[in-house]
Amino acid sequence: MGKHGSHCHSSPAQAAWGPEEGGGTGHSGTKLGYSVTDVPPWYLCILLGIQHFLTAMGGLVAVPLMLSEGLCLQHDLLTQSHLISTIIFVSGICTLLQVLFGVRLPIIQGGTLTFLTPTLAMLSLPNWKCPAWTNNATLVNTSSPEFIQVWQTRMREVQGTIIVTSCFQIFVGFSGLLGFLMRFIGPLTIAPTITLVALPLFESAGNMAGQHWGIAFLTIFFIVLFSQYLKNVAVPLPSYERGKKCHFLPIYLFQIFPVLLGLSLSWLLCYVLTVTSVLPEAPSAYGHLARTDSRGDVLSQAPWFRLPYPGQWGTPTVSLAGVFGILAGVISSMLESVGDYYACARLCGAPPPPKHAISRGIGMEGIGCLLAGAWGTGSGTTSYSENVGALGITKVGSRMVIIAAACAMLLSGIFGKVGAMLASIPIPVIGGMFLVMFGVIVAVGISNLQYTDMNSSRNIFIFGFSLFAGLTIPNWASKNSALLETGIIQLDQVILVLLTTGMFVGGLLGFILDNTIPGTQEERGLLAWKQSHKGGTESSQLISKVYDLPFGVGTRYCNVSWFRYLPACPRRLSCDKRMDEMKVAGQKINAKASLERNSEIGDDTRI
C-alpha cells in the first residue's frame, strides 16, 4: 500500500491523470499517486472531486427521469428538475456519511436502479395508474392543485415504502446479519437478480430512443467510441506546476468522461438541428422530441437556489405491497455493494474491508435510503460501481477526494439551474444513454457466473430457468392481474407487485434451486466467490488506520466492555497478539525482499 511520503518525488497531476504513473502501490499491483489515507493538494481534491461527481451524473439523472412516467410527471419538467436536484443533494449527504462513518472507503453514493423496477411495478397497480388526461400534454396544467395531488400522492407512497424497507437494511447492516445471509447467497442467485434489474426496462429505453433513432444511435456511437476505442488515447492539455511552469500534460479524457462527452456532443447537435429547423416543430411529427426546445422553458422557470428538505412533497404513506417488492431491491443492492467495497479497497491501496467495516457500510447505506425516502428522491441509495472504476483510472484513492465530490454534489443540489439543465436533455439522447447503461448492467449481472462451473448442466438449468421465468411470469401477471385476485385487497397488491417484479421472481427461483439441487461448493461457485472476497494478512495497525471510526470515536467508545460486541465496532488485539503479528509481518517483508534480490541476481546472470 502507498504510505504517506511514498509519492513525494512524483508529480501530483501525473499521479492523478496518467494511467501508469504514481508512487504508491495498491493490492492489485496498481501504482497509486495517493492512497486512501493520503491527502492530496486542495486543488487536486477539488478537480478530482468534481470529476467523480460528473462520472456519477448519468446514474443520478437516470433514476428520476425513468420514474417520471410512473409518477405522471412526463410533462412536468420543472418538477423533474426538482427531483434531480433532490437526488443529487441527498447523494452528497449519503456520500459524506459513508466516507466518514460507514465503510470509510472512497466510494460515491447515489440513486439505485435496483429500486426502480419494483417501484414501477407498484405504480402500475390499478389504483396507482396515472389518469388518462396526464398523458396528454395539452390537458396538463402543472400548477393546478389537481395535478399536484395526482403526482404527490404517488411520490408519498414511494417515500413511505423506501423508509420502511431501509429499516430492514439498517438492521441487517448493524446487526452483522449479512455475514449469515451470505452463506446461502451465491453467484447463481445474484446473476439473475442483477440481470433482471435492467432487462425489464428494455421497453422504456426503446420508446425513448425511438423518438429519433438517428440521434439515439449517434449518442450510442459517441459513448462507445470514447469508452472503448479511444480510452487509451491521451489528450495533451496545458498544465502548470512550480518546477515545470507551463507545460502540456497527457490526460485520458475519453476514458474518464465517455458518457458526459457523448451526451454533450449529441445535445449540441440537437441544438444545432433545432436552430436550423431541421427537426420538425409540429409536436405530433416524428423527431420533434429531439428538439432542445421541445421540453419547454424549464431552465428559465427553475429558481437559481432551492434547498431540498425532508417532507417537501408531504407526509409519506406506506402500503404492504410496495414494501415486499422493494425488499428484493434492497437485498440486491446490499450484495452488489459488498462487491463494490472489495473492488474499491483493491483499487485505492487499502486492505480488504473487515467485517465491522462492511457491517457499518451496509448499515450506513440503509440510513442513506432512509434519508432518500424522507427527502423524496423516488429511490434509495447505493454504492456506485462506475466511480469505483474511476479510481483505477485516476490512480488517486484518497477519501478526501470523495469528500470534495460530496461537497460538489451538495452545492449542485442547492443550485436549481443544474437540475433544470439536466431535465431538459432531449428524450432520444437519454434513450441512447439508457441503451448503453442498461446493457452494461445486464452484463455485470451475467459476469457473476465466472465463479461457477458453467459446464455443469445443473448450473445452466438454474440460471437459464431463473432468468427466463423472471421475464415470463411478470409479463403474464401484468396482463392477467384479475386471475390473481383473492378478495383481500392488501394481499392482492402484495402478490401482484412481487409477481410483476422480475428481479424478485428470478432471484427467488435462483436462491431456492441453488440451495436445494445437489451440487458441490466448487460447482456452485461458492469457493471462488469466497476466495475473491477473502481478506489478506495485513497488520491490524494498517486495517485500523483505514477502517476505524474517525475523531477518536472507535478508540473512545468501542473499547467499552459491551460496545466491543457490536458487529459495527472495530476489534482490538491484545498486546501479545499485536507483537506476534508484527513479528510475522516483519518475517514476510524480509522473505519478500530476499526473494526480490534473488530474482534480480537471476536476471543479471541469465545468459
DSSP string computed for 468-511: HHHHHHHHHHHH-GGGG--S-HHHHHHHHHHHT-HHHHHHHHHH
- Residue 514: per-residue pLDDT: 92
For the chain, helix (H) and strand (E) counts, in that order, are 26, 6
* DSSP H or E segment with residue 86: helix 77-101
- Residue 583: per-residue pLDDT: 52
Alpha-carbon distance of 104 to 186, in angstroms, equals 26
- Residue 354: per-residue pLDDT: 81
What pTM does this model have? Answer: 0.73
Summarised one tens digit per residue, pLDDT across range 15-69 is: 334 433 334 555 444 466 678 888 888 877 887 788 788 777 777 887 888 888 8
Taking CB atoms within 8 Å and a gap of at least 24, the contacts of 437-442 are 437/58, 437/59, 437/62, 437/198, 437/259, 438/198, 438/199, 438/201, 438/202, 438/205, 439/198, 441/113, 441/194, 441/195, 441/197, 441/198, 442/195, 442/198, 442/199
- Residue 587: per-residue pLDDT: 52
- Residue 240: per-residue pLDDT: 62
Alpha-carbon distance of 354 to 351, in angstroms, equals 8
Alpha-carbon distance of 24 to 394, in angstroms, equals 13
Q: Which residues in the chain show pLDDT less than 70?
A: 1-33, 239-245, 256, 295-297, 386, 389-390, 392-395, 490, 530, 532-542, 551-565, 568, 571-607
**CB distance 71 to 378 below 8 Å:** yes
The three-point CA angle 315-320-324 to 5° equals 115
Alpha-carbon distance of 104 to 99, in angstroms, equals 4
Query: How many other β-carbons are positioned within 10 Å of the β-carbon of residue 378?
Result: 28
Alpha-carbon distance of 553 to 561, in angstroms, equals 15
- Residue 14: per-residue pLDDT: 39
- Residue 5: per-residue pLDDT: 42
- Residue 365: per-residue pLDDT: 93
The three-point CA angle 442-443-444 to 5° equals 90
Summarised one tens digit per residue, pLDDT across range 517-565 is: 999 888 888 888 767 655 555 556 667 777 877 766 655 555 555 566 6
- Residue 96: per-residue pLDDT: 95
Spans of all domains in the chain: 42-127+144-529
Residue 531: what residue type?
Q
Cell output for 225: 467510441
Strand partners, 431: none
Burial per residue of 103-119, b for 16 or more beta-carbon CB atoms within 10 angstroms, e otherwise: bbbbbbbbbbbbbbbbb
- Residue 215: per-residue pLDDT: 92
- Residue 324: per-residue pLDDT: 79
**CB distance 84 to 61 below 8 Å:** yes
Cell output for 52: 467523480
